[in-house]
Amino acid sequence: MSERLQPGDVAPAFTLPDADGNEVSLSDHKGRKVIVYFYPAALTPGCTKQACDFTDNLELLTGAGYDVIGISPDSPDKLGKFREQESLKVTLLADPDKKVLDAYGAYGEKKNYGKTYLGVIRSTIVVDEDGKVERALYNVRATGHVAKIIKDLGI
């Protein structure tokens, strides 16, 4: 389990396949701010709500200079189904070996009904134009989170 990122840290570089199997890198977004959010699983209620919230607010976010990338341990195929089923517009990336999740501190111990296990920690990292962490939010809620980010970023 890796350390959580802090504002001012350099955001770990990554290149992952999207829902169509195309490689997407953080460096592709240099010069723009990027909201990278990590979620446990496509096609589940909370993750669907969160992805739909980002999609509904994508124009507002991109207009304010932010790109949005969602990362989960799902396969590109499952991400494609998720995108089609929910008409998602955000970029969804697959991290099945959880290397990027780990590098961003978004994979680790979780507790549910008194049991401790390893899993994806719902997290959002805002990366500035220079590739540095501007905000690092961990254990966020799926519902209402996008509205809170928009408010916190003053958009």
What is d(CA 56, CA 74) in angstroms, rounded to the nearest whole number?
22
Catalytic, out of 5, 19, 35, 47? 47
Longest dimension (CA), the chain: 44
Let me know if 47 is a catalytic residue.
yes
What is d(CA 124, CA 112) in angstroms, rounded to the nearest whole number?
21
Quick one: how many helices (H) and strands (E) in the chain? 5, 9
Three-class secondary structure of residue 7 per DSSP: coil
What is d(CA 34, CA 55) in angstroms, rounded to the nearest whole number?
14
**Residues annotated as part of the active site:** 47
